[in-house]
Amino acid sequence: MPRAQEVRRVDFLHPDGWREVHIIWRLPMGGYRARLSLLNRRGERRAGYDWHFGKGAHRHYRDTEELYDLTSIDRLLGDFARDVERLRREEQP
């Protein structure tokens, strides 16, 4: 069986110490799998989007988890970028 193909990998450290990690795969049967994370200066995951077999797409935001409708990679990256901007602004020391 063909394997998922990685189409994006980003590991970016912001000047203020926050870290973004993006990994996106194209699945052989169609669609995508993604793992996006925003880590604060202490390494705690404050936001993220994941897709797991059996669980599907979901969003982590602060201490909550909710289902996420993964319709496109562009929308996913836009939603994540908004979460990143909001959290970095609201959780500055």
For the stretch 34-86, pLDDT in tens is 999 999 999 999 999 998 778 889 999 999 999 999 889 999 999 999 999 99
For residue 51, the model assigns a pLDDT of 86
pTM: 0.89
What is the C-alpha to C-alpha distance for residues 93 and 88, in angstroms, rounded to an integer?
Answer: 10
Write the DSSP symbol of residue 40: -
- Confidence grade of residue 31 (pLDDT, cut at 50, 70, 90): confident
Cβ atoms of 36 and 80 within 8 Å: the answer is yes
Total residues found in the chain within this entry: 93
Backbone phi, psi, residue 68, to 5°:
-135, 135
What is the C-alpha to C-alpha distance for residues 58 and 48, in angstroms, rounded to an integer?
Answer: 8
